A and B are shown apart, each in its own frame.
Chain A
Amino acid sequence: MVALSMLALILPAGGALAAKPIILGCPLSTAFLYGWDAERGIKLAVEEINAAGGVKVGKEKRPLQVEVIDTRDLEAGVPVSEALLAVEKLILQKKANFIVGGPVRSEAALAAMALLSKHKMISILSTGVLTPKYHALVAKDYAKFKYLFRISGEVVWMLKGELIPALTAVGKKFNLDRLYIMVQDVAHARAVGKIMGDAMAKKGWKVVGNTVYPTGTTDFSMGLVKAKKENAQVLLITMDMPESAVLLKQWYDMKLPALPFGTILAAAEQPGFWKATEGKGQYTLASVVNAGNTPSNATPWTMKFVNAYQKKYGLEPEGYGTSSSYMAVYVLKDAIERAGSLNSDKVVAALEKTDMMGVYGRIRFDPKSHQIIPDIDPKKGAVGTIFQWQQGKRVVVFPPSIATGQILLPPWMKK
């Protein structure tokens, strides 16, 4: 009885100290790069916002609170229903006001759409999922899915707007036109390989070969040897397995005269890649989807973000979901303040009117599909980043508006 009454005394007192926090639920597969990158980005943003006083809702300043939950959706052998249950836990038990981050795997994110809209829960997807199906579904059934946004890139724009122009430019500059495609044996990677091959063929390139590697392969030499025999000049690589680092090591050891050009190349994204390959990752190109995941000068905010991240975590931003997850929190804060409330429909309306300069350029959502509007100019839209490993650093080489260096060819490719 005494304890109870004491508790009753403490509770309101504790509540009066700080305004009720706004809870951000983050369903992420935290044991994987595309999970923990988002977790770190979100936590950094929340820390900064809270240090500056929190989010202004109407007249009240309220702090943000992060609830991360492990969805395990990137682990093999774990059903997606596990991730969905995690999302429900965030909504129902942790009383999340908004969902930011994942689920990370496309299958899980697509499956979660119905669940999120059932709860009228605003969600800003910011890592992992690249499938165009996500925002196509939002556009198709706007009334149902209008609570869902995606602030990170999607694969159609990445191909059309960035990778194909970048590859074309490389070809023109160095006079290369023989493409060899290497993809991991998963549906999305095979599709990327095919689309890229067809598109480059239209631009007058010759696709001289295509090798599909099973997930978990540690030997890439068969494809590399074939590429050498066919005089390939560019290797187009799409893989999200960590073993892809071995591919680059083998490529270096063979001194294969072809430039490794990664679309999604998970291993090469991490700053630790250089050490892991003992510098043999030199000259590898890869995309990190959005600017800010590598140092560059896309906007004044970019380096501020990279430095803050480095100060907090001791290394540069890692996976492609870092800067977008960080921005998701700021965009949400901005929308809540403009809406002056946490009401889902009001915040959706505010999010649709979002127009701010972020870490990776101007941030606006397409009003119909709620997909971030991309561009190659950071003043007009969200920019991507293709970088090349040079002397232990990730040097941004595309788009030209934010590039920090030039593409280099390995010495054994120079004639």
Chain B
Amino acid sequence: MEIIIYGIVNSVTLALMALGFTLVYGVSRLPNFAHGALYVLTGYIAWQLLHSLGVPYFFSGVLALAAVGGVGALMYHFILERIRGMAISEIIASYAIGLAILEGLRWAGLKGGTFILKPFIEGSINLAGVSVDYQRILAVVLGAALVGFLWLFVNQTRLGLALKGMAQDERAAMTLGIDSDRMAVVAMTLGSICAGVAALVLLPLGSIIVESGYQVLVLAVAVCIVGGLGSWTGALLAAFVIGFAQILTVSYLGAHWQMVVALVAIILTLVLRPSGLFGKQKELEERV
């Protein structure tokens, strides 16, 4: 029973981490390797607002999200836009931005274990003999809500449909008058906010440390690759596959094999089926 409940919690956590990454990649084919840095940045801004400026909890969260959305948009507009389409350059540049943010934060004083955000709701509940924090249940609920919201947004609004069009065929979208760079900025903003939401929901469970930026990035990339880069359904499914695989490894094999399992999953997926579980088959683009 606990495997099922914690498997679900762990999977939704992974999905939350990966959502922003897959959104940006899906729309603008941009692997945003600064994703983890944006995650930590949100937590840090919220913490500073809350503790140094005394802004109420809710508003500091909203402000932090707005700030990170802005950072994402500026980052795209001023830097990444210039190297669109060169995948390796995009990876290196966005990783460099992430590195600059994370190490800059560390230099600015984000170190040690005392940066802790309060959970929204304290306490825990007993579900079928398994104790679960309210915050974790909230994470599952919010994760589902975020997915639902994004689905509605993409399928029901003009802006969302334009994004979807971009994702499907950029040239065709452009001939229909969709400004591809503006859409990419929108996607980047949304993706950054997704990273921020994940941070605000998940960081109260632990503490804000620089290392989690790197960890979130690796996990997000893992989920997206196993699911198929840019595929939403794939990412969700992969989050569950990896989430349960991790919990099962911890329960039956020992914790130190957890990361090994995730890494082997990536390597196997890439070698056997590079486009992932749900990626579109583009055999010739991926392998010879």
The answer on direct contact between A and B (beta carbons under 8 Å) is yes
- B131 and A254 contact, CB distance less than 8 A: yes
Alpha-carbon distance A76/B2, docked complex (angstroms): 31
Q: Is the CB of B206 within 8 A of A221?
A: no
The complex places the Cα of A385 from the Cα of B113 at a distance, in Å, of 21
B131: chain A residues at CB < 8 Å are: 221, 224-225, 254
Please tell me if B214 contacts chain A, counting CB pairs below 8 Å: yes
Inside 8 A of A225's CB, which chain B residues have their CB? 2, 130-131
Chain A interface, number of residues (Cβ within 8 angstroms):
34
With A76-B211, A76-B214, A253-B124 given, is the CB distance from A213 to B206 under 8 Å?
Answer: no
User: Does A212 sit within 8 A of B, measured CB to CB?
Assistant: yes
Contact call B133/A214, Cβ cutoff below 8 A = no
Partner of B114, one of A218, A254, A273: A273
Q: Contact check, B250 vs A31: say whether CB atoms are below 8 A apart.
A: no
Which chain B positions have C-beta within 8 A of A282? none
Task: Report chain B residues within 8 Å CB of A222.
Answer: 2, 6
Which residues of chain A are within 8 angstroms of B48 by Cβ–Cβ distance? Answer: none
Asked if A275 is at the interface of the complex by the 8 Å CB criterion, the answer is yes
Chain A nearest Cβ from B92, distance in angstroms: 16
Assuming the A-B contacts A218-B205, A221-B132, are A253 and B114 also in contact, with contact meaning beta carbons closer than 8 angstroms in the complex? no
- Give A366-403 interface residues, CB cut-off 8 Å to B: none
Comparing B61-69, B79-87, B251-259, the segment that makes contact with chain A is B251-259
Provide the residues of chain A in CB contact with B214, threshold 8 Å: 76-77
Closest to A278 in B: B118
B111 CB-CB contact with A under 8 Å? yes
**CB proximity of A12 to chain B, nearest CB, Å:** 38
Q: How far is the CA of A224 from the CA of B131 in the complex (A)?
A: 9
Given A270-B112, A272-B114, verify A218-B206 contact (CB < 8 Å).
yes
B114 and A214 contact, CB distance less than 8 A: no
Residue among A212, A222, A244, A275 with max Cβ neighbours from chain B (10 Å): A222
In the assembled complex, the CB of A92 is this many whole angstroms from the nearest CB of chain B, namely: 26
Q: Complex formed: what's the CA distance from A277 to B114 in Å?
A: 9
Whether A276 lies near B124 (C-beta < 8 A) is no
How near does chain A come to B98, taking the closest CB pair, in angstroms?
A: 13
Q: How far is the CB of A55 from chain B (nearest CB, A)?
A: 32
C-alpha spacing A246/B114, complex, angstroms? 11
The answer to whether A185 has its CB under 8 Å from any CB of chain B is yes
Q: Indicate if the CB atoms of A270 and B114 lie closer than 8 Å.
A: yes
Contact of B111 among A32, A214, A216, A275 (CB under 8 A): A32
CB nearest to A213 among chain B residues = B255
Q: Does B106 contact A (CB under 8 A)?
A: yes
Name 22 interchain pairs, CB-CB below 8 A, sorted by A: A31-B111, A32-B111, A212-B254, A214-B250, A214-B256, A218-B205, A218-B206, A219-B133, A225-B2, A225-B130, A225-B131, A242-B207, A243-B206, A245-B207, A253-B122, A253-B123, A254-B124, A266-B113, A267-B113, A270-B114, A272-B114, A273-B113
Asked if A270 and B205 sit within 8 Å, CB to CB, the answer is: no
B269 within 8 A of A: no
Query: Is A131's CB within 8 Å of the partner chain B?
Result: no
Check A168 for interface membership: any CB of B closer than 8 A: no
Given contacts A185-B256, A219-B205, 14 further A-B contacts (CB under 8 A): A33-B113, A77-B214, A214-B258, A216-B206, A221-B132, A242-B207, A243-B206, A243-B209, A244-B113, A253-B124, A254-B131, A270-B114, A272-B112, A275-B114
A250 at the interface (CB under 8 A from B): yes
* B132 near A242: Cβ-Cβ < 8 Å: no
A219-B6, A219-B136, A222-B2 are contacts. A270–B113 as well, Cβ < 8 Å? yes
**Which residues of chain B have C-beta atoms less than 8 A from A33's C-beta?**
111-113
Asked if A31 contacts B106 (CB within 8 A), the reply is yes
For the complex, give the distance between the alpha carbons of A31 and B207 in Å: 16
Interface string of B88-121 (1 = CB under 8 A from A): 0000000000000000001000011111101000
A242, B215: Cα distance in complex, Å:
15
Of the residues B114, B132, B136, B256, contact of A276 by C-beta under 8 Å: B114
